[in-house]
Amino acid sequence: MPQPQVCANHPQRPALALCMACGQRFCQECVTPWEGIHYCAPCLGRRRAAGRERRRVLGWLPMLLAAALLFVLANELRVVVAANFGELF
């Protein structure tokens, strides 16, 4: 007769869900659905941290690219203003 599955954190409770990241079985209180998929607390924490890191990098990239473009634009604009100085004044 097969042994009933138990929660990896609480051996006295039956396991009702499977963490799709680590594959361990947990009781209902030890898993959290995230984007429709069940994860245990440590795996969920790792996924959320990875998401924050991606958002942090993605937040910097546009700003740094824009800064580089503006640096070039400002330098070129000075030359344009200089070239058209006679018409402007």
Partner 1 sequence: MVAAVAAPWVGVLWLTAVPLRLLQVAFADRLIELGADARRYGDWFGELSWAIGLAFLLALYGRAVYARACGERYASGRTPGWRALAVPLGATLVYFYVALVLEALFVALAVTGVAVPVLVTLGGLAAASLPFYGRPGLFAPLRTVLAAGRAGRTLVASIFLFSTAFLVAALNLLFLVQLALLLADGALGASLAPWKAALGLEGRAFLLLLAAGAWLLVEPYWLAFLVVYVRRLRGRTRGEDLRRQWAELQASEYAPSA
Minimum Å gap between C-beta 32 and partner 1 is 26
Give how far Cα 23 sits from Cα of 31, 40, 45, 48, Å.
12, 9, 16, 18
- Contact status: 87 vs partner 1 (CB under 8 A): yes
What is the distance of C-alpha 45 from the center of its chain? 11
Nearer to partner 1, 2 or 86 (CB): 86
Smallest separation (angstroms) from partner 1 to the CB of 49: 16
Which segment (4-12, 19-27, 31-39, 76-84) binds partner 1 by CB under 8 A? 76-84
How are beta strands 17-18 and 25-26 bridged, if at all? antiparallel
> How far, in Å, are 25, 48, 66 from residue 9 at the CA level?
9, 21, 49
49 is an interface residue for partner 1 by CB under 8 A = no
Task: By CB under 8 A, name the binding residues for partner 1.
Answer: 59-60, 62-64, 66-67, 70-71, 73-79, 81-89
